[in-house]
Amino acid sequence: MDSINDSMYQKSMEARFLRLPQTELEALQQCEACGETIFPKRLTFNGHLRYGPSRCQCQEEVVRRAQIEEQRKVILEAQNINTYTWLGREWRDVSLREKTFENFDRTKQELAYDAAREFAYDPCGNLVLHGSYGTGKTHLLAAICNAALRKEKPTSSLFATSANLFAAVQHRIGENESYLPLLQKAICAQLLCIDDIDKTKHSDFREEIYFAIIDGRTKRELPIAISTNKLDELHKYVGGAVASRLKMGRTEVEMTGKDYREEL
């Protein structure tokens, strides 16, 4: 049965091939874009000679650019997904990929919106969004990550809540796995966003983790964006040394107002 199918396929291919132009002159074309003459390809099949379509340099360039753009989209999609899944499947939140500056109501938090947008396109130093609950801090941090990826020269970024960060670390400890790769990712990422940095109770171990990440990034002069409800008491949650480093090159914006979640 397979041999019969193969034979039919070969005959079909040969029939299609024989319909191609038999002379080079018949197959000549002219590029509609640049006007150059496009010389055909010389093709053979089962001893038959025919001439097939080709492309001029400008058409080849269009194809090349399309391939590069497609590859770029694939890479950006992978980076975008990694932004919210780098801690592991249990702590992913890909819904944050939909949080953008475009779907944030700027009128409610103009200063924070403008500061976050500026930071996204030129990450430098430390951005601290602080204030009451439900004012949009998480949305803006995610928007920073998403906008950074869409720049002409994308900035790879990582997003984590403090609760998920330490849950992932504890999980690895419980599985007798090293959590150091997570710290290395957090230290070396081009941009790091930590949401609700004050939501985990203080312990010496957690302070050490925070210090390793923040100190490592500070030494590399890599930007950090964080959110907190308790800026004045931040040292009680992350430690004095960490709080001090987060003041370096810091832009802080207070976000106040009603809990927007009540409107959802």
Q: What is the DSSP string of the chain?
A: -HHHHHHHHHHHHHHHHHTS-SSHHHH-EE-TTT--EEPPEEEEETTEEEEE----HHHHHHHHHHHHHHHHHHHHHHHHHHHHHTT-GGG--GGGGG--STTS-GGGSHHHHHHHHHHHHS--SEEEEEESTTSSHHHHHHHHHHHHHTSSS---EEEEEHHHHHHHHHHHHHTT---HHHHHHHHHSSEEEEESTTSS---HHHHHHHHHHHHHHHHHT--EEEEES-GGGTHHHH-HHHHHHTTTTEEEEEE-SS-GGGG-
The pLDDT of residue 262: 59
The pLDDT of residue 165: 97
CATH superfamily of 75-263: P-loop containing nucleotide triphosphate hydrolases (3.40.50.300)
Query: Which has the closest alpha carbon to 245: 261, 234, 257, 259?
Result: 234
The pLDDT of residue 55: 85
From residue 67, give the alpha-carbon distance in Å to each of 33, 38, 64, 150: 19, 22, 5, 18
The pLDDT of residue 31: 84
Q: Is the pTM of this model over 0.75?
A: no
The pLDDT of residue 54: 87
Q: Which regions in the chain score pLDDT beneath 50?
A: none
Query: Which has the closest alpha carbon to 261: 142, 137, 144?
Result: 137
The pLDDT of residue 12: 86
The pLDDT of residue 258: 75
CATH 3.40.50.300 positions along the chain are: 75-263
